[in-house]
Chains A and B, each alone.
Chain A
């Protein structure tokens, strides 16, 4: 069985997983929105670049992409420590998926409202801030949360560049105690708990949003 000190060690790894994933989400959600705006409203080359970026990154395995960032960027003259490299890799990855979600919401946005905003003299920027954004974030929330759960499940990829997250910590404990089953099962339970908490929090927010606003 697991000793208390080992469990504490494992929780430390869980803390790293939560911290890195949270930073990636905090950076990746707005980054995805910017990318979606560029892909729907930008000049033609900008749209094209955005589309290629999203397609390329969405097809890349997170492990391979993380290694490309961590081992590949120094060759281009940008040196990174493992932890910032992990945050950057996960942010860039989730931003590509989030841009698809934001883009779908923007494309589906009713044209009539935009025309009405234009008719009362709003600029495109103001209309986006006051009319479009307050509605699309509510429409996109469930899909964004789904992507967050996928990100947390893909986050063990950062272990390959030496970040000691929950999965790697479990592996270390397994290797030192010669009892691999308890740390791996405990780690699986911790992932399950983290995902369940996230989904429950999202449901609460969604319920609140539904009660407060008339959704699209």
Chain B
């Protein structure tokens, strides 16, 4: 067997295009679900047990559904309820809905493990409710959560490969269309996998850089 690098080289723009779509889909979804997760973490940490339990049930159920099944639900089942979506919107909704369940849980865990001192001090200074959450709790949670969000982003990037099944032209879809056109399956999927590897490596690198920055912020230079 010969390794058909020439084909891969010729079709490189397709791979790059697919990689670009994977990157922006995952980046936008991660940003959106981080925001939604912040909204969702409030009922998860509510002092009223029934609110907390209801939120808990929703998050747990969300984390049980495989990504592909959720994609099918959004892309094929929502139209039967009268909500037809094109594949891009369906892809984004699936990524965000799926990821938000995980993000809410990640944020909750970080909040629950926050040292109580700062919150108590803030309460003593008269901070309550939204101000307490926005000014004191949330910034600490967001700093603490960095590396876990990085891992979750890698998970999201890998799950996004399922979107090729509803023909979203992301990286795996590009690899599949190149392989079926030229019949170079091994080369094509190997290159795609290497690109995922590089992408995940890049995320890990950024997380490590971010961690160093967070360490500086935590030390609180000058105070």
Contacts and interface: CB of A to CB of B under 8 A. Distances in A.
Interface of A: 55-56, 59-65, 67-68, 71-77, 152-157, 159-160, 167, 170-171, 174, 178-181, 184-185, 187-188, 191-192, 195-196
Given A62-B158, A184-B77, A156 B185 contact: no
A160 B165 contact: yes
A64 B189 contact: yes
A192 B79 CA distance: 24
B104 to A, nearest CB: 17
Interface string B150-171: 0000100111111011000001
Nearest to A73: B186
Interface string B187-223: 0011011001101110000000000000000000000
Quick one: which of B65, B160, B201 has the most chain A CB within 10 A? B65
B101 to A, nearest CB: 12
B162 A156 contact: yes
Contacts of B76: 171, 174, 180, 184
B61 A64 contact: no
B81 A61 contact: no
B64 interface: yes
A156 B201 CA distance: 25
Given A68-B190, A174-B77, A61 B67 contact: no
B95 interface: no
B175 interface: yes
B199 to A, nearest CB: 8
A157 B76 CA distance: 18
Contacts of B1: 75-77
Contact of A59 (B67, B189, B201): B201
**4 nearest A-B pairs in the assembled complex, by CB-CB distance:** A61-B161, A71-B185, A72-B186, A68-B189
B142 interface: no
B64 A64 contact: no
A186 B193 CA distance: 33
B69 interface: yes
Contact of A60 (B65, B77, B196, B201): B196
A74 B179 CA distance: 13
B117 interface: no
Contact of B72 (A62, A157, A167): A167
B27 interface: no
A3 B159 CA distance: 32
Contacts of A76: 1, 186
B163 to A, nearest CB: 9
Given A75-B1, A174-B76, A64 B179 contact: no
B64 A59 contact: no
9 contacts: A55-B197, A60-B196, A61-B158, A61-B162, A68-B185, A76-B186, A170-B69, A180-B79, A195-B64
Interface string B94-126: 000000000000000000000000000000000
A153 to B, nearest CB: 5
Given A156-B69, A184-B76, A72 B189 contact: yes
Contacts of A56: 193, 197
Contacts of B164: 63
Interface in B33-58: none
B68 interface: yes
A184 B64 contact: no
A122 B73 CA distance: 57
